[in-house]
Amino acid sequence: MSDAESRPHVRTQAVWAGEGGVFMGRATQVPVVHSVSFGYDDLDEWRAAALGEIPGHIYGRNTNPTVAVFEEKVRILEGAEAATSFSTGMAAISDTLFTLLEPGRKVVSVVDTYGGTNRMFGEFLPRVGVEAVLCPTADHEAIEAAIDGGPRVLYLESPTNPTCKVLDIARLAARARAKGALVVVDNTFATPVNQHPLELGAHLVIHSATKFLGGHADALGGVVAGDAALVEAIFRRREITGATLHPDAAYMLLRGMKTLALRVERQNANALAVARRLKAHPLVANVFYPGLEGHPNHDVAARQMPGGFGGVLSFQLHGDFEVVKRFLPRLRWAHRAANLGAVETVVAPPATGSHVELTAAQRAALGIPETLVRYSCGIEDAGDLIADLEQALAAVG
Ligand SMILES: *Cc1c(COP(=O)(O)O)cnc(C)c1O
């Protein structure tokens, strides 16, 4: 895939990237450093470290050795100049938006962003005089017209949640750059195994590390990677707002990331197999997955997601919400829960999960049917997942 000397494969990077330091006692595994402070007998050295003139940690709200390894691993996987981490994905997103935007400036995005991000656009940014222009998600002409209106930031997600729409990141980033806007892409659904937004023209890439990066649904975290000056500005803000990633969580995320490529490759394959089977199933009204040839932006997805189409799909059942209520409890190999990207399959209807705050009419306006089910494939056997879905469909059909 890539030049083996200059850039190892993501499978190799996921294991080794960032872990090259000499750790306490020559440990081969990254130690969890709980110490809040880092001591200096030489005051000149302390001062130089505090000012960033020499490497060195000062205080745990700012930096920490375990957390720094996590940031370095993500930086390398995303091919970024710099990376900085956060206690959650939403902390990463909000500190990034509040760093890049100020009263009187505009952000352009789409209506289908992650629920928390959508609340930032609808509520918290307008409150400080930032206008959020939210376009119909799959309408590239509308997004380009909004970009021509001169926003400071273009904020994208692809594939989107929960209907797996695909945005042409290179096309929209080129337009935004021509207009002097900064391009930010939430890469949580795709992961660096499948998609590299920085290569497609983004200035910054964001992850909820809680999802695929960690992969085990047992640690919260967020990260921003990209242009060094922008990351520095975001880090300087996070130092003060204090949404710092805990070293225990950093360790869990690092441990999870060693198997990122293994997991995501299996999840890609599972999602494609499940999507193809459901597409052919008479009890399923519609399947949303960029890997299906019939997906409206399959060509774009195939170009910008060379690693695969991701582990998340969604499908629409015939009938009403009562069918969903009978169907979901019958699944044996799935948690009914709000997260995604874990080693276990996780299912959720938007009506109780990602879009629970909206009314049925608001969900309909976003193109989210009441009988939609988001299905985040785990690393189980595809045949078992398909058999499980088929028995649950047969029971309600
Ligand atoms: C979960 C998620 C977030 C928010 O991440 P948290 O770690 O829960 O704060 C942001 N974007 C996407 C696409 C997500 O799935």
Q: How do residues 136-194 score in pLDDT, each as one tens digit?
A: 998 999 999 999 999 999 999 999 999 999 999 999 999 999 999 999 999 999 999 99
Cis peptide before 282 (omega within 30 of 0): no
Tell me the best of 119, 191, 210, 339 to mutate to test the pocket of ligand 1, counting ligand atoms within 8 Å of each CB and taking the most: 210
Which value, to the nearest 10 degrees, does the dihedral of the CA atoms of residues 53, 55, 60, 63 take?
90
Query: Domain 3-257 belongs to what architecture?
Result: 3-Layer(aba) Sandwich (3.40)
Mean pLDDT to the nearest integer, 346-372 = 86
Nearest to 148 by CA among 110, 108, 118, 201: 108
Query: Counting atoms of ligand 1 from 1, which one is nearest the CA of 113?
Result: 13
Residue linked to tokens 């900085």: 84
Strands 153-157 and 131-135: unpaired
Q: 144, 172 in Cβ contact below 8 A?
A: yes
Query: Counting atoms of ligand 1 from 1, which one is nearest the CA of 189?
Result: 13
pLDDT at 354 over 90: no
Q: What is the pLDDT of residues 319-353, one digit of tens each?
A: 999 999 999 999 999 999 999 999 999 999 988 87
Q: Is the CB of 195 under 6 A from ligand 1?
A: no
What per-residue confidence (pLDDT) applies to 4?
47
Distance CA 197, CA 186 (A): 9
Q: Is the CB of 210 under 6 A from ligand 1?
A: yes
- Non-local (6+) Cβ contacts of 94 within 8 A are 120, 124
Query: Residue 108: how many CB atoms within 10 A of its CB?
Result: 29
What per-residue confidence (pLDDT) applies to 5?
58
Tell me the best of 93, 96, 97, 114 to mutate to test the pocket of ligand 1, counting ligand atoms within 8 Å of each CB and taking the most: 114
| Catalytic residue (one of 112, 114, 155, 168) | 114
Q: Is the CB of 113 under 6 A from ligand 1?
A: no
Q: Write down the mean pLDDT value for the chain.
A: 95
Q: In sequence order, what E strands does 92-213 have?
A: 106-110, 131-135, 153-157, 182-186, 204-208
Class of residue 309 by CB neighbours under 10 A (exposed 0-12, middle 13-18, buried 19+): buried
Nearest to 354 by CA among 132, 143, 190, 117: 117
Distance CA 314, CA 372 (A): 7
State the distance from the centre of ligand 1 to the C-alpha of 384, rounded, in angstroms: 28
- Dihedral sign for Cα 174, 178, 179, 180, please: positive
* Assigned superfamily of 260-396: Aspartate Aminotransferase, domain 1 (3.90.1150.10)
Residue 186 annotated in active site: yes
Mean pLDDT to the nearest integer, 342-370 = 87
Give the containing element (helix H, strand E) for 365.
Answer: helix 360-365
Q: What is the pLDDT of residues 37-76, one digit of tens each?
A: 999 999 999 999 999 899 999 999 999 999 999 999 999 9
What per-residue confidence (pLDDT) applies to 210?
98
Q: In sequence order, what E strands does 264-364 have?
A: 284-288, 312-317, 335-336, 346-348
Q: What is the pTM (predicted TM-score) of this model? A: 0.96
State the distance from the centre of ligand 1 to the C-alpha of 328, rounded, in angstroms: 23
Mean pLDDT to the nearest integer, 250-274 = 98
pLDDT at 132 over 90: yes
pLDDT at 385 over 90: yes
pLDDT at 233 over 70: yes
The set of long-range contacts for 126-129, using a CB threshold of 8 Å and a minimum separation of 24, is 128/98, 128/103, 129/102, 129/103, 129/104
- Non-local (6+) Cβ contacts of 265 within 8 A are 193, 307, 308
Distance CA 387, CA 382 (A): 9
Distance CA 69, CA 258 (A): 12
What per-residue confidence (pLDDT) applies to 24?
87
- For residue 257, give Cα distances in angstroms to 77, 183, 209: 10, 26, 9
Domain ranges of the chain: 3-257, 260-396
What per-residue confidence (pLDDT) applies to 22?
84
Crossing angle for the helix pair 260-279 and 382-396, to the nearest 10 degrees: 40
Query: Counting atoms of ligand 1 from 1, which one is nearest the CA of 157?
Result: 13
Q: 348, 334 in Cβ contact below 8 A?
A: no
State the distance from the centre of ligand 1 to the C-alpha of 86, rounded, in angstroms: 12
* Banded pLDDT at 7 (limits 50, 70, 90): confident
State the distance from the centre of ligand 1 to the C-alpha of 45, rounded, in angstroms: 39
pLDDT at 1 over 70: no
How far out from the chain centre does Cα 350 lie?
A: 18
| Catalytic residue (one of 95, 168, 186, 388) | 186
Distance CA 211, CA 195 (A): 15
Nearest to 219 by CA among 80, 95, 67, 371: 67
For residues 271 and 4, the model is more confident at 271
What per-residue confidence (pLDDT) applies to 2?
45
